[in-house]
């Protein structure tokens, strides 16, 4: 009797197979349910996303094109401003160069004329204006000299005669130095040759003697 009772309590192999099959089916159904739910969620999300009408798509395209055109305009505007500034600078430099050329075009000619002025002044220094026989020569040479100086001044050529003035190394060239009683140091005590300027530019320094 004991043996029969034990066999009755144990599940048969067929029952175990059926139970396993049931478990597998249940899991499959659960997985399928999750897949279906996920698919339905995706479809719902796609359905919720609004679709644009042709007019709206056209407007969006035009807005993008407008933004791109505005960016291009901003870039071109900056380039134009830079180009205009460069042109203005070039025009200003050109005007300065032209003005400088006009002012100093006669520099070489003026320097050559200064030699004539120097010779006339030396000639006058050798003529005795008080002597009756030399008075006419003195007046003639002096008139020629004054006329030449006047002509040079019309073209902005001016003399530098620094007698008794402080020595200026930018305008004067010291040929020698001499100690003179009662005269302050660095004072021009003699002018050996006048200097000249053309429109404010030094074209020849004055050769001078300076006190110690």
Residue 21's pLDDT is what? 59
Between the two ends of the chain, the Cα-to-Cα distance in Å is 154
Angle between helices 107-125 and 132-154 (to 10 degrees): 160
Q: What is the mean pLDDT of residues 28-39?
A: 53
On the question of pLDDT at 39 being above 90, the answer is: no
Residue 210's pLDDT is what? 95
Q: What's the number of domains the chain is made of?
A: 1
Residue 191's pLDDT is what? 93
Count of positions (residues) in the chain: 212
- CATH number of the domain that residue 113 is part of: 2.30.22.10
Query: Does residue 135 fall inside a structural domain?
Result: yes
Query: Does residue 108 fall inside a structural domain?
Result: yes
Query: Does residue 166 fall inside a structural domain?
Result: yes
In this predicted model, what pLDDT tens digit does every residue of 81-113 receive, in sequence order? 888 888 889 888 888 888 777 778 888 899 999
Query: Does residue 54 fall inside a structural domain?
Result: no
Query: Does residue 63 fall inside a structural domain?
Result: no
Query: Does residue 19 fall inside a structural domain?
Result: no
Query: Does residue 77 fall inside a structural domain?
Result: no
- pLDDT band at residue 25 under the 50/70/90 scheme: low
Q: What is the mean pLDDT of residues 14-21?
A: 58
Residue 78's pLDDT is what? 81
In this predicted model, what pLDDT tens digit does every residue of 144-183 receive, in sequence order? 999 999 999 999 999 999 999 999 999 999 999 998 888 8
Helices (H), the chain: 2-9, 13-48, 54-104, 107-125, 132-154
> Whole-prediction pTM value?
0.56
Query: Does residue 147 fall inside a structural domain?
Result: yes
Question: What domain range includes position 146?
Answer: 102-211
């Amino acid at each position: 009797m004991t043996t029969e009772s034990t066999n009755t309590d144990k599940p048969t192999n067929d029952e175990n197979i059926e139970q396993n099959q049931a478990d597998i089916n249940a899991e499959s159904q659960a997985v399928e349910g999750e897949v279906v739910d996920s698919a339905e969620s995706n479809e719902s999300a796609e359905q919720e996303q609004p679709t644009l009408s042709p007019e709206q798509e056209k407007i969006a395209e035009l807005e993008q094109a407008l933004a791109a055109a505005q960016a291009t305009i901003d870039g071109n505007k900056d380039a134009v401003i830079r180009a205009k500034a460069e042109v203005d600078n070039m025009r200003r430099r050109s005007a300065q160069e032209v003005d400088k050329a006009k002012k100093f075009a006669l520099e070489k000619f003026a320097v050559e004329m200064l030699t004539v002025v120097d010779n006339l002044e030396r000639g006058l220094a050798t003529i005795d204006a008080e002597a009756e026989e030399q008075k006419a020569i003195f007046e003639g040479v002096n008139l020629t000299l004054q006329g030449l100086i006047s002509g040079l001044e019309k073209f902005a050529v001016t003399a530098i005669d620094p007698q008794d003035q402080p020595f200026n190394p930018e305008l004067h060239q010291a040929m020698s130095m001499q100690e003179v009683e009662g005269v302050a140091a660095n004072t021009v005590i003699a002018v050996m040759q006048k200097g000249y300027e053309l429109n404010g530019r030094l074209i020849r320094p004055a050769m001078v003697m300076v006190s110690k």
